[in-house]
Amino acid sequence: MKRLDWSTLDDAGRRAALARPARRIRRDVVEAVHEILQAVAAEGGAAVTRYAERFDGAPPRRIAITPETVAEARAALAPADVRALRIAAENVRVFHEATRPEDTALVETTPGVRSRLVWRPIRAAGLYVPGGSAPLFSSLLMQAIPAKVAGVPVRVAVTPPSRDGSVHPAMILAANEAGLDALWLLGGAQAIAAMTYGATLADGDIPAVDKLFGPGNAYVAEAKKQASAVPGGLAVDMPAGPSELLVIADRTADPELVAADLLSQAEHDADAQVLLVCDDARTLDAVAEAVAAQLDDLPRADIARASLAEARLIRVRDLAEACAVSNQYGPEHLSLQVRDAEATVARISAAGAVFVGTFAAETLGDYAAGPSHVLPTDGGARTLGGITTASFMTTMSVQTVTAEGAGVLGPIAARLARLEGLEAHARAADLRSGASA
C-alpha cells in the first residue's frame, strides 16, 4: 500500500496517485480481444467454441432453468442460503420496481402543441456475469431482475463455468429468481463476441443483442469497448472493469471496519484498486495495521495482496479536500466513514454508489440492499451512473399538433429552417400552417 501526502504532490503526482492499474489497458489485452472479436465475426460459433475450450476449459453449454434443475440446485444448498438468496432477489426487485421510470404527462408548449416522453424496453440485453474463480450469482440478480422489470423480452445471460466445467447451484437459483429460461456457461471476450455477432453453438443459438451489460476482468471490459465500436453495432452499459473502492475516513472511523471494507474489494481481483483518503495520520496507521492483521487468514489472500500493491493511503488536509480527491477519482464504490456522513453526501458529485456511515458496509450493497451493484469503473462515475431499470429502456418523445398549433408554431419553425438554409424543412412547416413561401 502506497502512503502519500496530497499536499506535497504536484499535478503530475496527483494524477499518478489516482491512476488506475496500468495492466488494465495492456496492449496485449487489446490485441488478444481484437483477435477474438474478428474471429467470431468471421467464423461464428466455431470460433466461440474454440476460444471457450482454450480459456474456459470447456465448450459453451446451455443450462435450461427447469423445475428439475432448480430443485436439484436447491437441494445442493443449505436452506438458509436459499432463503438469503431469495431475500436479496426480492429486495432488488422491490427497489427497481419502485424506481422504474414512467411516461411523462403531456406538456403543452404552445396552444395545440403537446409533447411527452414515453419509455420502452430495449429488444435484447446481453448480461455478463463474472465467474470462474468466484461464482458471482449476485451479479446475475443485479442485472437480470432490472431487465425483467423493464420488460426486456430477450435476456441472454452468460457466465464462465467453474474450473471443473460445472455451474454453482446458487447461479441456477439466481437465474430462476430472475425469471430466466436459460443460462449459458461461457466467459471472457468470446462470450462478449458471441452476444455481439450472434453464434450458433452445439447447445443452441446465442442471438446478437442490442446492449451489453455487466462487469468483468480486463479482457471483458476491453471486449465491451471494442464491441461498441463495431459499425452498426451494439451499445454498452458503462465501463465496468475490475472493482474499486475509495474510503473517506476521519479520526472517528473504526480502523477495523475500514480495513475490512478495503479487503472486501481487494479480494475480488488482482486488478482491483482500493484507496483510503483521510485527514488523520493515526487513523491511516491504524487502518494499515488492521489490513495487515486481517489479510493473512483470508482464503483469497494472494489475490488481495496483488491488489494492495496498487492501493493508496492518501493523507489530506481536511474533509473538503478528501471529497475533492474522491470526486477527481470518481470511484465505483465510495464509503463515507466520517463523523457527519449524511451531510457529506452533498459534497460528492462522482461515485457509482455511496455507502453512508458506520453500518453501511459496501458488502450489503453488493448483495442485498436493492440497488444494482453493476457500477461504472475507471472514472466512469464522473459522467455515468450504475445499472437501473432505465438502463434497459429507451425514451421517445411523442408530439401531437392540432391545426391551431401548426398555425401558430409553423411560421416560427419555417423561419428558423430558412435561417439555417434548409428550405425543404421550411416548406414542410408551411404546408401545415397554411403559410406561403
Q: How does DSSP assign 216-237, residue by residue?
A: --HHHHHHHHHHHTSTT--EE-
| 180 pLDDT more than 50 | yes
- What pLDDT sits at residue 434? 84
| 81 pLDDT more than 90 | yes
Whether 197 and 317 map to the same domain: the answer is: no
Whether 137 and 19 map to the same domain: the answer is: no
| 164 pLDDT more than 90 | no
Q: What are phi and psi of 156, to 5 degrees?
A: -105, 115
| 10 pLDDT more than 80 | yes
How much is the mean pLDDT over the chain?
95
What's the whole-number mean pLDDT along residues 110-114? 96
Q: Which candidate, 284, 265, 281, places its Cα nearest to that of 273?
A: 265
CB 314 within 8 A of CB 325: yes
Whether 189 and 312 map to the same domain: the answer is: no
CA distance 222 to 25: 8
- What pLDDT sits at residue 288? 97
CA distance 418 to 343: 52
CA terminus-to-terminus distance, the chain: 72
| 133 pLDDT more than 70 | no
Q: Which of 177, 244, 267, 332 is catalytic?
A: 332
In-domain check, residue 164:
yes
Residue at a domain's end among 211, 237, 263: 237
Whether 246 and 222 map to the same domain: the answer is: no
What's the whole-number mean pLDDT along residues 237-259? 94
Whether 233 and 255 map to the same domain: the answer is: no
CA distance 20 to 74: 40
Whether 6 and 142 map to the same domain: the answer is: no
Whether 231 and 216 map to the same domain: the answer is: yes
CB 236 within 8 A of CB 228: yes
* Number of compact structural domains in the chain: 3
Instruction: State pLDDT tens for residues 37-62.
Output: 999 999 999 999 999 999 999 999 99
- Angstrom CA distances, 140 to 128, 328, 385, stand at 8, 30, 18
In-domain check, residue 109:
no
Whether 97 and 17 map to the same domain: the answer is: no
Which letter, b or e, does each residue of 48-65 get, where b requires 16 or more Cβ atoms within 10 Å of its Cβ?
A: bbbbbeebbebbbbebeb
What is the full DSSP assignment across 390-408?
GGGEEEEEEEEE-HHHHHH
Percent of the chain exceeding pLDDT 70 equals: 98
What's the whole-number mean pLDDT along residues 174-198? 97
What's the whole-number mean pLDDT along residues 109-133? 94
In-domain check, residue 143:
yes
In-domain check, residue 110:
no
In-domain check, residue 163:
yes
What's the whole-number mean pLDDT along residues 69-95? 97
Q: Which candidate, 229, 188, 211, places its Cα nearest to that of 50?
A: 188
In-domain check, residue 269:
yes
In-domain check, residue 394:
no
Give the pairing of strands 312-315 and 333-337. Answer: unpaired
Whether 168 and 215 map to the same domain: the answer is: yes
Query: Side chain identity at 399, as an amino acid letter?
Result: Q
Q: Is 333 a catalytic residue?
A: yes
Q: Which candidate, 174, 175, 240, places its Cα nearest to that of 391?
A: 240
Which structural domain range is residue 318 located in? 2-23+241-385
Instruction: State pLDDT tens for residues 307-344.
Output: 999 999 999 999 999 999 999 999 999 999 999 999 99
CA distance 65 to 71: 10
Whether 200 and 158 map to the same domain: the answer is: yes
CA distance 128 to 214: 5
pLDDT-wise least confident of 94-98, 241-245, 426-430: 241-245
- What pLDDT sits at residue 132? 66
**Secondary-structure percent of the chain, ordered helix, strand, coil, rounded to 5:** 50, 20, 35
| Residue owning grid cell 488478444 | 32
Whether 87 and 134 map to the same domain: the answer is: yes
- What pLDDT sits at residue 437? 47
CA distance 332 to 136: 17
Tell me the HSE value of 319 on the side-chain side, using a 13 A CA sphere. 17
- Angstrom CA distances, 195 to 39, 80, 199, stand at 14, 35, 7
Q: What are phi and psi of 350, to 5 degrees?
A: -145, 100
Residue at a domain's end among 220, 237, 254: 237
Q: Which of 333, 342, 362, 404 is catalytic?
A: 333
- What pLDDT sits at residue 231? 87
Confidence of residue 22 (pLDDT cuts 50, 70, 90): confident
Confidence of residue 415 (pLDDT cuts 50, 70, 90): very high
Helix (H, G, I), strand (E, B), or coil: what is residue 197? Answer: helix
Residue at a domain's end among 194, 210, 237: 237
pTM: 0.92
Q: Residue 256: give its domain's CATH number.
A: 3.40.50.1980
- Angstrom CA distances, 390 to 146, 152, 227, stand at 8, 11, 21
- What pLDDT sits at residue 24? 59
Whether 53 and 190 map to the same domain: the answer is: yes
In-domain check, residue 391:
no
What's the whole-number mean pLDDT along residues 269-280? 94
87: its cell numbers: 431475500
